[in-house]
Amino acid sequence: MTKHTLLLFILILLSSCSKDDENNNCLSNIEIATVAISESVITLKWVETQGYASNYEYGLSGFSFGNGISGSTTEETITLENLQPGQKYDFYLESICSESLTSDISKYTFTLLECEGLDIEKIVPRGFQEIDGLNVFGINWYPQLLGTNSWELAMLPANEVPNEQNIIPISAQANNSQLYVEIPEINPEVNYVFHIRRKCNDTFGSWVQKSISSIELQDFCQFEVDIENDTESFRIHTTGGVFANIIFVEEGQEFETGLTFNSNEIYTYGGNPNSIYNQYPDYFKPNTTYELYTRIQCGAGYSNYKFTKTYTTPLANAAVVLDSQIQGDNLIISYISDWGFNANFCRPYTNYTREIEYGIAGFTEGEGITINIEENVWPEQIIIPLSNFESNIEYEFTMRTKCNSITSEWNRHCTQGLLPRESILIP
């Protein structure tokens, strides 16, 4: 009995040793390494030392073995997808040597890239343009990695934040080294923040934010303007944008005191300066210099105003005494105040008063007797009783106009300039 028991023990021992030798011959996979990695995908490789296939299991680092994602492969490489950006994972691998024999388990740990891929300095504003009648603002950005083709972005006033209503989703072609978006309704008079983030499968990266101030936006609203003035009309030409407004500011006064005209108003008056300052007689004064500022339409707003030129309004209407005659007991004074047309001197103003002043020959202007003529009459003459004068005395007559308290020169003829006073001897 003892002899048989000893023989059985020896057989069991030999069988056990043979099995351990077989396990030792099923070696683990070696040289597990990363071939390619992104924010949500990794490709691993290894060297199969003996087996014909491998079992694998993976999950977030620290997961309980047996609760991960598992499978088998006959290849020496595998691509794991739909992973979480920036997370650390554990990957377990064992070689299959036979149906009943596997190797010891090898462990490999890796961390995915964050879902970023964009530096703030890689956001480049390009400026305003009009496309199919819509004013848009263009922005380029340059991804750090090719193949990053899903994004969310918003360009919002500085006090607003991205939400479902104002976010713009972008899906571009793969492998673009630069991406571009056109955003409508951007007002260059407002401070903005450009928000952008990557989309990695169902996960988003952090928002990258670039401030774009109204000063920067105004730099994209540059334009040139030329105002032609042939004394009969203003012709406004802008290059780089559509003319929007012009402001006349009296020289030496604050900008805010200026008078603003939009393009429609300018065109309504035909650009005629006479029409303009006759329409606003309380603002435009004769023989006064004004500074002209213009701006254009830009994006959903306007450019800053640009000083363009100065403009001096003409003198008040020319007026001159032409003749004096005695008829019976009256002195008839004939004058002219609107002869011909010349925007500089003749009759550029609609609302004005005529002043005739007379006195004994050699009198000082301003010390004579003044007669105001408010209305237009024809023929242009006034009647003064001879009883207003001393007999056998020579009198002189002169004339001027007054517009908005600004007076013209005495006795200016439209084409002949300043004329001498009209004189007559009262009998």
- Tell me the β-bridge partners of 57: 70, 92
Taking a C-beta distance cutoff of 8 angstroms, is the pair 47, 39 a contact?
Answer: no
pLDDT tens per residue across span 317-351: 888 999 999 999 999 999 988 655 565 667 788 88
pLDDT interval class at 254 (50, 70, 90): very high
Class of domain 120-218: mainly beta
Quickly list DSSP for 343-402. Answer: TTTS---SS-EEEEEEEETTPPTTSSEEEEE-S--SS-EEEEEGGGS-TTEEEEEEEEEE
Tell whether the model's pLDDT for residue 298 goes beyond 50.
yes
pLDDT interval class at 171 (50, 70, 90): confident
d(CA 17, CA 19): 5
61 CB contacts (<8 Å, ≥6 apart)? 87, 88, 89, 90, 109
Structure tokens belonging to residue 322? 């032409």
Look at phi and psi of residue 127 and say left if phi exceeds 0, alpha if psi is from -120 to 50, else beta.
left
d(CA 260, CA 264): 12
- What is the sign, positive or negative, of the torsion defined by CA atoms of 335, 337, 338, 340? positive
Give the mean pLDDT of 388-411.
91
Mean of the per-residue pLDDT values of the chain:
86
Question: Residue 248 burial (CB < 10 Å; 0-12/13-18/19+)?
Answer: buried
Q: Report pLDDT for 12.
A: 37
d(CA 58, CA 90): 6
Q: Report pLDDT for 290.
A: 94
d(CA 347, CA 314): 9
Q: Report pLDDT for 18.
A: 42
d(CA 150, CA 128): 24
Q: Report pLDDT for 10.
A: 34
Tell whether the model's pLDDT for residue 227 goes beyond 90.
no
Residue type, 116: E
Tell whether the model's pLDDT for residue 46 goes beyond 80.
yes
Q: Which of 70-84, 256-270, 338-352 has the highest mean pLDDT?
A: 70-84
Question: Residue 423 burial (CB < 10 Å; 0-12/13-18/19+)?
Answer: middle
Give the mean pLDDT of 286-311.
93
Which CATH number fits the domain 320-426, given the four candidates 3.40.640.10, 2.60.40.10, 1.10.3720.10, 3.10.150.10?
Answer: 2.60.40.10
| Cα separations in angstroms, 74 against 2, 51, 53, 71 | 50, 9, 4, 11
Cα radius of gyration rounded to whole Å, the chain: 47
Flag the least confident range among 158-162, 169-173, 195-199.
169-173
276 CB contacts (<8 Å, ≥6 apart)? 234, 261, 269, 284
d(CA 420, CA 410): 9
pLDDT interval class at 8 (50, 70, 90): very low
Flag the least confident range among 4-8, 26-30, 65-69, 92-96.
4-8
Give the mean pLDDT of 294-309.
94
Class of domain 231-312: mainly beta
What are the phi and psi torsion angles at 91 (to 5°)? -125, 120
Q: Report pLDDT for 1.
A: 45
Taking a C-beta distance cutoff of 8 angstroms, is the pair 125, 139 a contact?
Answer: yes
Higher pLDDT, 337 or 53: 53
Kindly give the pairing relationship between strand 106-111 and strand 150-157: unpaired
Q: Report pLDDT for 394.
A: 97
Kindly give the pairing relationship between strand 42-47 and strand 77-80: antiparallel
Q: Report pLDDT for 121.
A: 92
- List the chain domain ranges: 21-111, 120-218, 231-312, 320-426
Tell whether the model's pLDDT for residue 17 goes beyond 80.
no
Q: Which of 345, 360, 344, 346 is nearest to 398 (CA)?
A: 360
Class of domain 21-111: mainly beta
Q: Using alpha carbons only, what angle is made at residue 111 by residues 145 and 36, rounded to the nearest 5 degrees?
A: 50
